[in-house]
Chain A
Amino acid sequence: MHEQTGCFDPNTMGESVPFLKDNFPQTLPPSPIVVGNTTNSNNNSLEQNLRLSVEELSYNHYYPQHQEDHVSTYVSGVTATSIEIPHPQHLGLNMGNSYINNNNNMDNHLVQEVIDAYPYQLSTWDPATVQELQDIAYANHTEQQQQQQQNEQQFQQIETQNCSQSYNNPSSILDPPYPSPDLLNLLHMPRCSASSLLTNPSICLTNPTQNTPNFQNPMAFLGDLTIGSENTSASSVLYDPLFHLNLPPQPPALRELFQSLPRGYSLPTNSRNGSLFAGGDEMEGDGSQLDMGVLEFNRVTPSVGKGRGGKATKHFATEKQRREQLNGKYKILRNLIPSPTKIDRASVVGDAIDYIRELIRTVNELKLLVEKKRYAKERYKRPKTEEDAAESCNIKPFGDPDGGIRTSWLQRKSKDSEVDVRIIDDDVTIKLFQRKKINCLLFVSKVLDELQLELHHVAGGHVGEYCSFLFNSKIMEGSSVYASAIANRVIDVLDSQYTAAVPHTNSY
């Protein structure tokens, strides 16, 4: 970490000398933040094998990064970029589950960087040649993205494989050398916020500096950025001729000048195919120019909402894209919910609310179970190693107090059956409702025996074409059953028996 920060500083000094002159006194405060990161990384290295402790520490990372977000509002853009570089190392140390949490923090951090750097651009006068180079690099982004559309599916498959590898072999992530965790982190980053307009170009900032030995990797990331870039390319094509005509020569209209100049140069470079490699070199070489590109991208978006020449086509294109994005997001949300009820948006949002509450309860339940398991291990008087001592120290502040009673509630639906599972401490209540007559009582009693649930009370029967049962049972000592396991198991058994019963009815 220290070496990389040391190597990065002279580059920034060489590239952005005027910024450092203006912001020299502000460089001192962020240094303790870097020290804090090093201490966190040391804690992570000690407890790499412990999964729960790392997850709990990831929540620790969540809070100080809030502090970093507050601090970064007062820090200039240059120092913010220096802070961002050690973050991938933390991401590499954390496990696969904490990728998304930290990536969201990264997104917030990157967005605030843009906020900080925006006023500095207005205060300074940039030469036209720098803007030309940025426009060429930015246009090459769009060209490469269009070419990569065909290969998107292949990269998505690679992403899924990486995700599965990270779960199946957690130790393999840490054993190989440093660059491979970065690849996993960067693969996850665009998936979280693939459709957000601002964060896509900002993610490009970190990619070329870290992946300079591998030329193919930035191509993969550029393929994921096609959604955001299509909007910008469409808007740039529509608006260019008008701003040529409307160029005001007066100096107080600086914003309009900044908006108009890059679009003028983007048109001829789009037609050129040979400029891809030149743009790639510029991407890898200079980081500050990409910062400039991000800022100009920010200026483009407010003008979309304003009504200027060519109202109908402009409004129609942007509005249609916005609706398509929103519909796509609703579809993704609906696919995540295990048992959706209806298709309209209000129902999808309602089901999402219920499912989020269910997930929160499930997470709390599982954490309690894990703590009880560890307590049971200690109770059997096994030899305590240093790791066990570390576990006991770390678990207590995060876990619920000892008096907390375990509660959980789940509902699952399939085509012909519904299951409702409630757990209070060690009592389990299962409600079962199924259409069609199958001997539910037999199969459910088998499932209860498999799951080590002691049967206490059963009530129910057949009513017409439906059968309904209520089971009260108690969890045996030593078993670690949780509500989602019970519900999934019961509903799988019922559905499999229902499919098996269909040929049985045909025999009659």
Chain B
Amino acid sequence: MSLDEFSFNAENGSNRERMRRKNYDYDTQVFKSKNLEVERRRREKLSTRILLLRSLVPIITMQQPLELHLMNKATIVEDAITYIETQQNIVQSLSYELHEMEATSEEIKPKKEEIDAAEEMNKLGIVQATKIDGNKLWVKMIIEKKRGRFKKLMEAMDNIGIELIDTNVTTLKKAYLVTTFMQVTLGKIGIFVMDIVWGN
């Protein structure tokens, strides 16, 4: 009888493992239940994800048409690989086409540049600074909203050597509200900081 079971289990690898666990079952049940549950959970996790992967990929190739193994793991992974490669190629071609169209549509940009130039107005913002703990400042600024304004502010801060610990920027129609908690690393005086920021 055991020989028949062995020959039957030889065809399926997973059943062979269960055969071994039944052997362990006679010795210690704790080992059997623990390992069995963990292994079962792992297999279930992998199989559910493979099913989900199969549902996402529209490509289906039948590796052995006579036996129709649609759910073979190797074919599922292979189809996923081919599908990812095709999608990546599509993304590349579309982005290349966008760049071409953008190059041909350079005429749009100078119009906007003219508009930006027309709107240049010299407005100075509001700056409030509060000194905290000798080396740190809490600064509140209201500055006019322009395209490169925030970048210039950040560059100025970086040149001075200020480290921004917390930053919050809010935008209304034509203005930035910048509140920062900063730390002056090079020991400069707060007044100089205010002057530089104000000058920006």
Contacts and interface: CB of A to CB of B under 8 A. Distances in A.
Interface string B159-200: 000011111111100000000010000000000000000000
Contacts of A298: 66
B91 interface: yes
Interface residue SS majority, chain A: helix
Nearest to A376: B105
A363 B80 contact: no
Nearest to B56: A356
Contact of B98 (A311, A332, A370): A370
Interface in B135-152: 147-148, 150-151
A74 B193 CA distance: 84
B112 interface: yes
Interface in B30-73: 42, 45-46, 49-50, 52-53, 56-57, 59, 61-67, 73
Given A360-B87, A455-B150, A478-B105, A51 B97 contact: yes
Contacts, number: 201
Report, as a range, how many residues of chain B touch the other chain: 35 or more
Nearest to A107: B61
A350 B56 CA distance: 12
Contacts of B151: 442, 445-446, 448-449
Contacts of B98: 366, 369-370, 373, 480, 482
Nearest to B51: A349
A353 B56 contact: yes
Given A457-B170, A461-B166, A363 B81 contact: no
B63 A118 contact: no
A325 B77 CA distance: 11
B72 to A, nearest CB: 10
Given A196-B61, A307-B11, 20 more contacts: A96-B89, A97-B92, A108-B62, A193-B61, A198-B65, A199-B61, A307-B7, A326-B73, A346-B46, A349-B49, A349-B50, A356-B57, A356-B84, A359-B91, A376-B105, A446-B151, A461-B166, A462-B164, A482-B95, A485-B95
Interface of B: 7, 10-11, 13, 42, 45-46, 49-50, 52-53, 56-57, 59, 61-67, 73-75, 77-78, 80-98, 101-102, 105, 107-109, 112, 147-148, 150-151, 154-155, 157-158, 163-171, 181
